[in-house]
Structure 1
């Protein structure tokens, strides 16, 4: 079918009408004469254009002819009467015709819109993407354009219009429509405001904050006119929960509103965004920050503002805040990372004593991340047997003979390498992994001690194993020890369990009962790091303890090359005499020189442990020391 390229929307109907009648058209033109232009039809009075054509009587269509479609005047009437603002435009985007609704929308007579650029009327040039899509529709490379534009009415008010441009079927013309959606946009705006703002404080809520934060990061990263940096103060009220619980949520909400007001006042000079993220958590976002000093100064002003008492519902209330401060370049910064850093720094502020601000420290954060990584993999590491035991000799100070060994656990970490106990034992105690780890250490040490006993039956070694208090509380230590001794065949008297002084002194209930039962089994009990805790000497007589291990801080005062402290020697001598009167043996830790060993032996210490004799070594090296003198085997 041949596609007619007419100048407006109505050519096709007029042509069909003349084809049916075979007579001149309604304006006196003979068949084949030139079709009327849009200007000529516009010259027809509007009342005539608006008059609908009379319907032909039924059965009046000549045989062999086609029933006529609606007359051009029908389309004209519909076009003019339509409530939807419309215009017919050509392929160059020039307005050919406009209906009264469009004129009313734009505040102009329809005839004055003819020959105007549709792009100018609909403000399509401002947005490059919209302009490109509009040109594609005019050139036939795109079937339809639909966009929303904010237009300015001649009387000064703004309106929102939904713009649609699409081809007219069987025509080279395009139809432009503009639907006024201002009321809908206003309603959507009000609904969005309710969705994006906190009802208690009227501040932006969490959703709007993250939306603004993402936009700020993107803008700061690519806008060369700004500083390219971003800052965040993340704060939490100290003691708010107590106020909420005692005075009620109504007072708590009013207090939050008062806090929000003061935060807004602090942020106002710089135009910073203040948001309530939930509960008693607030955030102040600094776009295009000038450096850490700007954020620190903002944090200081917030603390000062919140220190003033609040008068709420007849109550005079005082609160403080802990603030985490983060400031960094926006490029390469992700929203998630920034909030994690802020949250971590806020935690540091609370941990450091509250009512303060703390600046993000990458090194401190790296240490925290490492601790978290270790903590989360401790239990699987025990199951994968990533741990090994080294042993450090316990040597008689008088004869230099190896009396026993202390089992010291190391973690062969696949990422961080070999880790000493001070890197992970405290983590294991925090998350409970110390129970399965301690059980593994105890079993491994007892198995090794049994092997030494069988290899050297005349020189059996006592193996000393450290036990955490949590092992006593969270597991049946007595049952574990009994089962492991039975499994390995190690005699109980060759096992010594070490507990710290702070854990043993003052023990009562379950811990004390466990120690008594272990002692009844024949297992020796030692107090590790003695002299650094409670030092409740009178309590020693009530505990089933067999050995005191003096903390290395006492032994350090025995160094002859440094100025020895006579008081240290006096204290150690008194402790040794007291221990011997109670039937206890004494081991000195951290012996690093022959001079220290000699002086300790002179005042009566029984055994020594330290680098002077040997560093912690694998079990095969201990075998060479049994019955010999560790200092003569190449140990430092």
Structure 2
């Protein structure tokens, strides 16, 4: 048993001893309560808090802790430590303890009532002396019982009450007997009145009800009431005995715990538990449901600059405004706080208007001391009818996932935006997520393969290098293209281990080609992502791969996209310079798709430019109707292409043209002095086994078709 349980047991023992009579000696009491404290702490930290609380509550009554203050002292001692472990499970365990304690105490009271009834009425056939003794015992129990007792006639008149009931209602016995039971039971309490009527008519033997009663001073007490019918010897109803236990404190505690379990402590709004219950109820009833999922923009900036107190005040103010104008206090919709700076509105009907009003509420300035804080939000809107019909979203969990995804779209679009659920986009997002989840397993299982596209010297159309292109070969035979999985790998960080594997695989394969064709010069070009360059050990990783495979650094080219290179800071640039100093060539891939400062290229460790496809294909995109189908050229675009190649050469950079697809493109590129090219005119990306054939001679359409046929 842990120290926490021992300490809590000691505190509990001290508290409960102060309540009055304790049925266990000190050492035994401490040990027993320490054991139950451990049970409650485990429940607050793990599963089944309700069962654990109920077990402890019943044990207290069964052991004899029935003094009126015993439950209060128990909850006071256990409450803060359990809530500190986990507010929700701790509160649930405390509530279950209180409920089980009350039920067990009521069962004990009922048994006492049965003993009283037996003592009072079952001895009528006994001798007069025995009857007198029973009545004396009944009188003593009736007068001194801790619970309130009243005896009613079948027509509802109060004929006798005990002292406890008088104290409970703050009335004298004379005041009680002057009234009928109808005075105390509200007219709309049909269950209570029906039960009493059934007993008065002899149709029911007993009933048990928990009800509030209004006292003469205007206050309300909550009671647990047991009604029992006493029959005359001929079987006709003679009396109704009413046993009343005051459970006001327990009811208040349960109400408080229930509120804590279903409401957010900072804002007072319903929490996610209550929200999901209401959502599931609306779905089960078939009512039209809309969800507005709202996230405040840059609340972290408020916390970081003005302090968390100001941030909390902003959250509280926004919550109050949303509830007053959109929530049940205003327009009747449920507004809940999900977590952090996220709120959700359950709309039973169209949700677009509610979303717009929510944004207006959030945008209003929040005064906080000397500051006026202005925030905005993004809102994702999902309506169950549309979602269920188009995407199969039928459960509360599915709807909230869709709302979360839609909120993410709104945040991607910028500040103060509303995004509506789109089934196709959602399916793509789900597929993307599933792809990211499968990728680590696929990499471990060896499902990725590398194909190679030749880099061709334009003067004689001989291959001087190959570009390694990764593909995902799934077990069923389908291939996933890099445009689908590379962005996911970059987002998740898997691009780092995947990129290392591709680099190592390409270098190992290049060594095999060199052994097969020792007299053929060849370099291998491998794409490297911006995230890889930012990794602290990227230079050491490349050096280790070259050392392990035996591939020379001067025969390796690493390709970075223009945007990745131009966005690099000092550390990534230092890594690229270190790689260049090792002899590795650095190339800018897809050059021309960004906004590079060409003069800035002189300061970068760059050896080659790979012109993006549009630079090569755009000048030949239009066709002259009079040219009989021959390629027609845009002279301005051609001039730009020629000047770009000339400028790159002036800067000492080699130039590779991507997406070369026609003989006309090849001839123009030759004329402009472009060094190398790649594209379907020469060959597509092929498996490693087909590369040696491409290395043996000039490459053109005939060669590439032969490779494809094989």
1:384 maps to what in 2? 445
Matched, 1:290 2:359: no
Matched, 1:303 2:303: no
Preserved CA contact (<8 Å) 2:292 2:346: yes
Q: Give the length in aligned residue pairs.
A: 552
Deviation at 1:572, TM superposition (A): 1.4
Summarize deviations over 1:428-460 as a string: whole Å, max 9, x none. 334433232222111111111121222222334
**CA distance in 1 between partners of 2:223 and 2:550 (Å):** 89
**CA distance in 1 between partners of 2:692 and 2:207 (Å):** 87
2:498 maps to what in 1? 437
1:40 maps to what in 2? none
After TM superposition, the score normalised by the length of structure 2 is 0.66
Ranked by relative contact order (alpha carbons within 8 Å, sequence separation 6 or more), the top structure is 1
Equivalent position SS for 2:402 = helix
Summarize deviations over 1:614-635 as a string: whole Å, max 9, x none. 2212112223322233421353
2:654 maps to what in 1? 585
**CA distance in 2 between partners of 1:513 and 1:240 (Å):** 35
Deviation at 1:318, TM superposition (A): 2.6
**CA distance in 2 between partners of 1:244 and 1:521 (Å):** 46
Preserved CA contact (<8 Å) 1:122 1:151: no
Matched, 1:326 2:389: no
1:64 maps to what in 2? none
Preserved CA contact (<8 Å) 1:99 1:110: no
Structural mapping, 1:141-540, within 5 Å? 148-149=210-211, 160-164=222-226, 177-182=243-248, 184-186=250-252, 188-189=254-255, 192-193=258-259, 197=263, 201=267, 203-206=268-271, 209-211=272-274, 213-223=275-285, 228-248=287-307, 251-267=310-326, 268-286=329-347, 289-291=348-350, 295-313=351-369, 315-328=371-384, 333-413=394-474, 417-505=478-566, 509-540=570-601
**CA distance in 2 between partners of 1:470 and 1:531 (Å):** 21
Deviation at 1:543, TM superposition (A): 4.4
Equivalent position SS for 2:619 = coil
Equivalent position SS for 1:633 = helix
Preserved CA contact (<8 Å) 2:158 2:176: no
**CA distance in 2 between partners of 1:554 and 1:249 (Å):** 52
**CA distance in 2 between partners of 1:382 and 1:328 (Å):** 38
**CA distance in 2 between partners of 1:333 and 1:125 (Å):** 43
Residue 147 to residue 381, structure 1, CA distance change in 2 (3 Å): farther
Deviation at 1:588, TM superposition (A): 0.8
Structural mapping, 1:605-620, within 5 Å? 605-620=674-689
Equivalent position SS for 1:424 = helix
**CA distance in 2 between partners of 1:618 and 1:221 (Å):** 53
Equivalent position SS for 2:278 = helix
Deviation at 1:408, TM superposition (A): 0.1
**CA distance in 1 between partners of 2:621 and 2:651 (Å):** 30
Preserved CA contact (<8 Å) 1:163 1:177: yes
Deviation at 1:271, TM superposition (A): 1.1
Summarize deviations over 1:245-283 as a string: whole Å, max 9, x none. 544555555444443343233214531123344544333
**CA distance in 1 between partners of 2:141 and 2:474 (Å):** 81
Residue 255 to residue 403, structure 1, CA distance change in 2 (3 Å): closer
Equivalent position SS for 1:229 = coil
**CA distance in 1 between partners of 2:571 and 2:312 (Å):** 46
Residue 83 to residue 433, structure 1, CA distance change in 2 (3 Å): closer
Preserved CA contact (<8 Å) 2:533 2:576: no
Residue 450 to residue 338, structure 1, CA distance change in 2 (3 Å): same
Deviation at 1:187, TM superposition (A): 5.3
Equivalent position SS for 1:410 = strand
Deviation at 1:411, TM superposition (A): 2.0
Mark the structure with the bigger radius of gyration: 1
Residue 598 to residue 94, structure 1, CA distance change in 2 (3 Å): farther
Preserved CA contact (<8 Å) 1:233 1:323: yes
Structural mapping, 1:106-145, within 5 Å? 123=191
**CA distance in 2 between partners of 1:161 and 1:121 (Å):** 14
Residue 569 to residue 431, structure 1, CA distance change in 2 (3 Å): same
Preserved CA contact (<8 Å) 2:149 2:165: no
Aligned with residue 13 of structure 1, among 123, 130, 137 = 123
**CA distance in 2 between partners of 1:482 and 1:514 (Å):** 12
Summarize deviations over 1:538-580 as a string: whole Å, max 9, x none. 3444445443211101112132654643222111111222333
List gaps (5 residues or longer) in structure 2: 1-116, 183-187, 196-202, 624-631
Preserved CA contact (<8 Å) 1:8 1:96: no
Structural mapping, 1:30-69, within 5 Å? 53=132
Preserved CA contact (<8 Å) 1:614 1:630: yes
Equivalent position SS for 2:479 = strand
Preserved CA contact (<8 Å) 1:122 1:163: no
Deviation at 1:381, TM superposition (A): 3.4
Summarize deviations over 1:149-182 as a string: whole Å, max 9, x none. 45789999976432447899xx999976343434
1:632 maps to what in 2? 702
Preserved CA contact (<8 Å) 2:410 2:418: yes
Deviation at 1:389, TM superposition (A): 0.2
**CA distance in 2 between partners of 1:311 and 1:508 (Å):** 40
Summarize deviations over 1:568-611 as a string: whole Å, max 9, x none. 21111112223334443321101122222232223222222112
Preserved CA contact (<8 Å) 1:86 1:176: yes
Deviation at 1:71, TM superposition (A): 3.1
**CA distance in 2 between partners of 1:567 and 1:126 (Å):** 96
Deviation at 1:406, TM superposition (A): 0.8
1:71 maps to what in 2? 134
1:66 maps to what in 2? none
1:3 maps to what in 2? none
Summarize deviations over 1:34-84 as a string: whole Å, max 9, x none. xxxxxxxxxxxxxxxxxxx5xxxxxxxxxxxxxxxx333542564476563
Residue 306 to residue 441, structure 1, CA distance change in 2 (3 Å): closer
Preserved CA contact (<8 Å) 1:9 1:88: no
Note the aligned Cα RMSD (angstroms): 4.5
**CA distance in 2 between partners of 1:512 and 1:165 (Å):** 86
List gaps (5 residues or longer) in structure 1: 1-6, 27-52, 54-69, 115-119, 128-136
* Greater share of helix: 2
